[in-house]
Copies of this chain bind each other. A is one copy, B any other.
Amino acid sequence: MTRSPLSPTPRTTLGRSPDRATSDRTALDAVLDVGLTCHLGVLPTGHTAPMVLPTGYGRDGDTLYLHGSTGATSLRAAASGVPVCVTVTLVDGVVYARSVFHFSMNYRSAVVYGQAKAVTDPAAKSHGLRVITEHLAPGSWSHAREPNKKELAATSVLALDLTEASVKVRGGPPKDDEADVAAGVAWAGVLPLHQRWGQPEPCPLLPSDAEIPEHVTARPQPGIAKPAKEI
């Protein structure tokens, strides 16, 4: 599948630290594919404040699929076609600087704007759920029982075009003032943050000799995709 280039718009053109921004589509995909959850921001009709809620997602080509219960206010609002913002953030480390002012985080974040569409066609909905399931737990769609009609009806699947988005990446050491570096006022550096899978914890209702399948035991560690180059 070909990938659309990103179309910079005023809200995806970063005002702050534009040196950390990229409109590179590959960088966007890298962040989206490595994250586990997104934060969906939406202003439901009649609300005064946006809702920002952690939400499951998955990417297929130029489409970001989101899902949740059909009863969730945030999903219902997003499905109604009001504009949404979807943000995926990966924290890579804490940046200790010589001055408090230059403390920072190393991170990769993707921000996508658009209007989501409810996916209602059963085959398309099933495809969206497959993408989301394989994002959350690769290898699971063919291993677990697929959704039945009742379950499909109780699940809301939304599709969002990846055409208006921005990516911001900070990497590397602190950027201190020269005077502070020369004076050696404090230690400075990065404390990297890693995510690691622990040992699988089988459901207590399984037979005690149930074998843990390879798609669980051999799941690659999260967040290990090479950080996008800071530009």
Contact = CB atoms under 8 A, between A and B. Distances in A.
A208 to B, nearest CB: 12
B16 A99 contact: no
A39 B52 contact: yes
- Copies of this chain per assembly: 2
Given A136-B94, A188-B203, A189-B206, A144 B99 contact: yes
A124 B196 CA distance: 39
Contacts of A72: 15-16
Given A71-B16, A188-B206, A146 B100 contact: yes
A231 interface: no
A22 interface: no
Interface of A: 11, 15-16, 36-37, 39-43, 47-54, 56, 68-69, 71-73, 83-87, 89, 91, 93-94, 96-101, 103, 105, 107, 109, 111, 113, 129, 133, 136-137, 140-141, 143-148, 151, 154-155, 173-174, 176, 180-181, 184-207, 210-213, 216, 219, 222
17 contacts: A15-B72, A16-B68, A36-B94, A37-B105, A39-B87, A50-B83, A97-B144, A98-B144, A100-B145, A103-B144, A137-B191, A143-B187, A144-B186, A176-B203, A184-B207, A187-B216, A189-B212
Given A43-B49, A54-B107, A99-B144, 18 more contacts: A16-B68, A39-B41, A41-B51, A52-B86, A53-B87, A94-B137, A99-B146, A100-B146, A100-B147, A101-B151, A137-B191, A176-B205, A187-B202, A187-B210, A188-B202, A188-B206, A189-B201, A190-B203
